[in-house]
Amino acid sequence: MASGRMEFHAQSIMQHASFSFVLPNDVEMAEVREPRHYKRPTKTLILLHGLTGTDTDWLYGGVAQNMAIQYNLAVFMPAAGNNFYLDRGYSGGDWGSFVGEELPDYIQKVFGYCNRREDTLIGGLSMGGYGALHTALNYPERFSGCIALSAALRTRAIAEGRQDGVIPEAMLRDIFGDPGSLLKSDRNPEWQYLRLKGKQIPAIYMAIGTEDHLYACNQEFKSFLEEQKADFRYEEGPGGHFWSFWNAYLPRGLDWLLRDETVS
């Protein structure tokens, strides 16, 4: 097991970008519950933090190291501030391009991963759950699946002026733009999905705690995916907006996304 933290100059955000990583390059097989994952090449999981978080969250609060070991995954965790992994439309503020293009390209160049769509996944919690969905649907040629845990899918509420008080209104407008145009923009995952109809769309795994304040908006997106007959799985269970829930459901998402895994 190799782990570390790196920085590189990212053109899309015009600054040094930090990311943490875990690589399953010397795992003791006695630790592994499902050895079948080691009968194929290592896959990549880009794992996103939530609001106010940073690149080490999934290491210290989450189960990134254990997921790398159990599923033969190279896990990369970027720091992205409170930008919801969205482009502002100018060089220096394109956080969507950073996580969807520049970071995977850098990973491929330096580490040799992210070479194939079928070997590349993205996931996250809360703001990062939204970011994982948005990124996967914005770059379906790069990602075969995504895991959205307690996803902050409040685009409809924002468009309708229903604030929850967590994020200041001025910040929401800066990130998501004009609320009147939000639902028919690429900041709305439903709009993104509809624009991909007839094309190859990443598989989607969603999970939400029944006591989570984001439960209702996740139910709305679940209903949308059901109407679209999407390739997705939705799960819920007791719990709120806490690490105990995310750590329990991240492996369930990986189990589902890797369900048809075959050995080449």
Asked if residues 150 and 132 have their Cβ atoms less than 8 Å apart, the reply is no
Dist CA 249 CA 221 (whole Å): 18
Q: Which burial class, exposed, middle or buried, applies to 154 when counting CB atoms under 10 A from its CB (0-12, 13-18, 19+)?
A: buried
CB atoms within 10 A of CB 229: 7
Nearest to 122 by CA among 81, 85, 177: 85
Strands 2-10, 15-23: parallel, antiparallel or unpaired by DSSP?
antiparallel
Dist CA 248 CA 209 (whole Å): 11
**Mean confidence (pLDDT) of the chain:** 95
- Tens of pLDDT, residues 198-247: 999 999 999 999 999 999 999 999 999 999 999 999 999 999 999 999 99
- Tens of pLDDT, residues 50-67: 999 999 999 999 999 999
Q: pTM of this prediction?
A: 0.96
- Tens of pLDDT, residues 153-209: 999 999 998 877 788 889 999 999 999 999 999 999 999 999 998 999 999 999 999
Q: What is the dihedral of CA 15, 21, 25, 29, to 10 degrees?
A: -170
- Computed on alpha carbons and rounded to an integer, the radius of gyration of the chain in Å comes to 17
Per-domain boundaries in the chain = 2-255
What pLDDT is attached to residue 258?
97
Whether CATH 3.40.50.1820 fits 2-255: yes
Side chain identity, residue 9: H
